[in-house]
Chain A
Amino acid sequence: MFLAEAASGVVPGTGGGVWFPPQNSTIAKDVDWLFFYVYWLSVIFFFIVIGSAAYFVMKYRHRGPNSPKADHTFTHSTALELIWTIIPCTFLVPMFYWGFTGYMDLRTPPAGAYEIRVTGMKWQWLFTYPNGVVIDKLLVPKGQAVKLTMTSEDVLHCVFIPVFRVKQDVVPGRYTNLWFNATEAGEFNLFCAEYCGTKHSDMHTTVLVVAPEDFAKMLEELDNKRPTETEAEWGKAQFAKFGCGQCHSIDGKTGIGPTFKIDAEHGFGSTRKLIDGKDQVMDENYVHESILNPLAKVRAGFAPVMPPYQGRAKDKHIKAIIEYMKTLK
C-alpha cells in the first residue's frame, strides 16, 4: 500500500551516498561522521589483516620438496602481543567516547521542544498534536526541535526515521521519547523497526517537514479528506484514528460497546432500547450526539463508559464516520 506513495515521488535515497540516505537533522552529520571514523579504521585494519595473510600465503606457501622448512623457533613475543592489543585500544577509546556523547545528544531533548504524542498500534501510527488534532502522518516544522512522546496500544513497535538517524522502541505500558530538529523541508520515510506481526512491513508512514509559517495550515489540511478518498474511506480512517474499534466491533461481536455491523438490532438505521426504556433509531442525529456526549442516551445492556469526544471529533470527522457506518452491512 505504501508502494504507490513511494512511487509518487517520496524519498528514495536521493542525495545520500552509498552508505546513507541524505542527512536531514541537526544530529545526522555527527552520526555519519562517527560512522565514517569507524568505517575507515575498519577498512584499514581489514586490509592489514587480509593483506598480510595474502602476503604470507604467497611468500611462505609450500612449493615442493625444496621449499624451506617452517621456522618453529618464533612462537611467542609478549612485546608483539602488547603492541597489537594497545594500538587498537587507542582507537577504541575515542570510538566509545564519541558514541557515548552522540548517544546522549540523541537521547536528550532540548528544553522547549515542540511535543507530539505518538501512538503505535497494529499496524498504524497516529500523531496527536497539542491542539488535539490527530493525523496519520508526522508533520513537523523545519528548524525546530520536536520531541515525540510515544507509547503503544498493543505490542512493541519502533519509530525509525532514517534521514534523521533516530530510532526508538515504542513500548506498551510506558512512555519513551525521541527528538530531532529537521533541517530540510520534504517528505521522508518513517518505518516500524520492531517486528509486530502480520503487516509489520506495511506499518510505514511519512514525515512531512514544512516551513514553520506553513505548519498550522498544513496541519489543518492533513486533518481533511484527501481528494482521492471517498467520504466513507476517510470515515474508516477516522474510525481507526479515534480508536472506535476498540469497543465497537464491525464484525457483529459484542464488545465493551455494541457492534456497528448492520442488522435488525445493530448498526446504522437499527432501533435499540435505551436504559430508560425508550426506543431510539440510530440515525445521523443520534450518532452525532452519542460521539460528542455519549452519556446522554446510553443503550440498554451497556455500561455508560464511553468518553466524550467533544472538542476532539469535529463535524467533518463525524459526518465521515457516519458515511463509513452506513457501509458496514
Chain B
Amino acid sequence: MSGHADSGKNYLNESHGIMSWLFTLDHKRIGIMYLIGVTTMFFMGGIFALLVRTELFTPGPTIMMHDTYNQMFTLHGAVMVFLVIIPSIPASLGNFFLPIMLGQKDVAFPKLNLASFHLWVVGAIFFLITLATGGLETGWTFYTPYSSTTTQSNVTSAVMGAFILGFSSIFTGLNFIVTVHKMRAPGMTWFKMPLFLWAIYGTAIIQVLATPVLGITLLMLIVETTMKIGIFDPKLGGDPVMFQHFFWFYSHPAVYIMILPAFGVISELFTTFSRKEVFGYKFIAVSSLAIAFLGFLVWGHHMFTSGQSKLASTIFSAITFTIAAPTAIKIFNWLTTMYKGDIRLNTPMWYALGFLELFGIGGLTGLFLSTMATDVHLHDTYFVVAHFHFVMVGSALFAFVGGIFYWWPKMFGVMYNDTLGKVGCFLAISGFNITFFPQFIAGTQGMPRRYFNYLPEFQIYHQISTVGAYMMLIAFLTIGYCLVSSLFSGKKAPMNPWGGATFEWQTPSPPPMHNFNYTPVHVGGPYDVHLYEYDEATGDWVKKPEPKKEETKEPVVAAK
C-alpha cells in the first residue's frame, strides 16, 4: 500500500464546465452537488430561524407582525425538514461514500441517482415559488382544516414541492437498497459492511416504504383544497384527525430518516478516532434495522391530545418505549469503543463527543413525551420544540457536520485547520445548548409553541435563546470559513489522514473518477483500524504488514 496513487486526475478535475457537473452520472459529483444544495438551503432556513428568534426577543411585535412571523417559522420548519435534514447525510455523504465504502465504481442506477438530484432541485424551486407567491403559514405539518381552508398563502405549491422532494427521496432510497444488496466488494459480507452503510441501508428502507404515504397524503390535501372534495375538512364531510394519522405515518419514520444516518456517521467516528474496532458491531448494525422497523409503529405518539382513542394512545406509547432499547444499545457501545482506546481528539471526534451530550439530552427528553401523562402537559409547548431540536439539529445536523469534517480531506483532497475546526465545534455546541436548553424550562412552565406573542414571564427564556441563536450564527460562519478556506490554502490531504480502515481510505484523496485504481477486496473484520500505523513523515496512516497466518489477499495497488 505505498503512498498516494496519484496520477493528478481525480473526479474533481476529470472534466470541466458546469454541464459536466449538472448532468454527471458520477455519484461523487452528485453527492457534492447535494452538499452544496443542502448547505445553501441550510443557510436560508437559518436566516428564517434567526428572524424568528429576533422577533421573539420581546413579546409582541419586535421586527415583524403576526402573519410574517407565522410565515417565518413555517418556512424555517419546512425548509429545514424537507430540504436540509432529510437529504443531508444520505443524499450528500451517502451518495459520495456508499459506493466507495462498498468498493464499487458507482451506485446501481447512476441515471436514477441523477434524476433524484434533479427532482430535489425542482422541489426546492417549488419552495422558492411558494416564497415568492405569498409564502406559507400553515406550519410545516400542514394540519387540516387550517391548511385546506387558508387563503393567506400558497399551500398548493409548497405541497407540490414536498411531494416532488418525496420522489427524490424514494429514488435515492431505492438506489441505495439495490446497491447494498447487489454490489458489495468481494469478501464484504453483510456483517463486514461499515456501520455507516447499515445505517444508510435502514434509512433507505424507511424512505422507500414511508415516503409514498406522504405523497398520497399531500395529493389528497391538494385534491381537497382545489376541488373541494371532503377528505379532511369536516365542513366538507372529512376528518381532520385522519390527516394527522397520515401525516405522522410518514413524518415519524422521517425522524429516523434524519437520525439513523447520524448514528452511522457517529459509529465511524468513534471507531476511527479510538483506534479500535467499534464495540458490539453486530448489535449496532441490527439495532439500526430494529429502529427502522419500530419507527413505523409509533406515529400515534404525536397525537396523545388529538382526540384519538385512549387504547390507540396506550399502544403507541408502549411501542415508543421499545425504541429506547436499541437506542441505548448504540450509546453504550460507542462509549465502550473508547474504553482502552488510543483516542485522537481531532475535530470530527469533537463532534462525536458533542453528539453524546446533545443526543443524550435529546433522547432522554423523549421519555417525558412518550410517557402519556406527562406528554399531555408538555405537548405543543417549547419542551417539544427543544426536544426535537436536540435530536434533529443537535444530533442529526451536528453529526452531518462531523461527517463533513471527517470526510472533507477525502472529498476535496485538502486538510483544514484542525484548531479552527474545534473552535467552530465548541461554539456551535455551546450556542446550541444556550439556545435550546432554556426552552425545556419555558415548556414545562406552559409556553406554547408557534407563538408570536407571549406573556412577560417567559421573556427571560426567549432572550437567552435568542443570544444562543446568534452564537450559533458565529459558530457556523467559523465552520464555513474553516472548511472553505482549506480549499484554497489547505495542506494536501494524504490518502488516510485519520487511520480509517474502510475502503474510502484506501484510495487517493480526492478519489479518481472510478474510485479505485485497483479492484478492492475486503479482508479481515469490518474495522481493523489497529492494523494502521501513523507515518510521521507523510501524515498518512499505512497498513502494517499482516502479523501472521491469514493468507495475504491484500488489495493490490494497480501499477502506474
Contact = CB atoms under 8 A, between A and B. Distances in A.
A106 interface: yes
Given A106-B376, A195-B146, A197-B70, A72 B448 contact: no
A1 B84 CA distance: 37
Contacts of A199: 66
Interface string B221-245: 0000000000000110001110000
B343 A158 contact: no
Given A50-B356, A53-B335, A62-B344, A89 B325 contact: yes
Interface string A165-184: 11111011110100000000
Given A60-B338, A85-B329, A201-B451, A156 B143 contact: yes
A176 B240 CA distance: 13
Nearest to B450: A195
Interface of B is mostly: helix
B445 A20 contact: yes
Interface in B272-330: 274-283, 304-307, 310, 313-314, 317-318, 321, 324-325, 328-329
Nearest to A108: B310
A43 B282 CA distance: 29
B343 A7 contact: no
Nearest to B442: A13
A100 interface: yes
Contacts of B313: 103
Contacts of B278: 75
A200 B454 CA distance: 11
A57 interface: yes
Interface residues of B, number: 92
Contact of B372 (A6, A100, A155, A198): A100
Given A98-B371, A200-B450, A80 B336 contact: yes
B357 interface: yes
B321 A96 contact: yes
A1 B462 CA distance: 19
B374 interface: yes
Interface stretch (B358-366, B395-403, B464-472, B550-558): B358-366
B370 interface: yes
Interface stretch (A186-194, A228-236, A262-270, A315-323): A186-194
Given A80-B336, A92-B324, A172-B145, A69 B234 contact: no
A7 to B, nearest CB: 7
A98 B367 CA distance: 13
A53 B305 contact: no
Given A53-B356, A165-B377, A176 B234 contact: no
Contacts of A62: 275, 342-345
Contacts of A196: 146
A191 B274 CA distance: 50
Contact of B373 (A16, A31, A89): A31
The residue in A19, A30, A39, A81 that gathers the most chain B C-beta atoms within 10 A of its C-beta is: A81
Interface string B241-282: 100000000000000000000000000000000111111111
B453 interface: yes
B149 to A, nearest CB: 7
Interface residues of A, number: 90
Contacts of B235: 172-173
B538 interface: no
B17 interface: no
A6 B307 contact: no
B446 A198 contact: no
Given A57-B338, A193-B448, A72 B276 contact: yes
Nearest to A7: B456
Contacts of A155: 145-146, 149
A193 B234 contact: no
Nearest to B327: A88
A143 interface: no
A222 interface: no
Interface of A: 2-3, 6-7, 11-13, 16, 18-21, 30-31, 34-35, 38-39, 41-42, 45-46, 49-50, 52-53, 56-57, 60-62, 67-72, 74-77, 80-81, 84-85, 88-89, 92, 95-96, 98-107, 154-156, 158, 160, 162-163, 165-169, 171-174, 176, 189, 191-202
Given A53-B338, A89-B324, A165-B377, 18 more contacts: A6-B455, A21-B446, A31-B377, A34-B373, A53-B335, A53-B353, A56-B341, A69-B275, A70-B342, A75-B276, A92-B324, A95-B321, A95-B371, A103-B310, A169-B305, A173-B240, A174-B234, A201-B454
For the complex of A and B, the 8 pairs showing the least CB-CB separation, nearest first, are: A173-B234, A102-B373, A162-B446, A99-B371, A103-B372, A201-B451, A72-B530, A42-B364
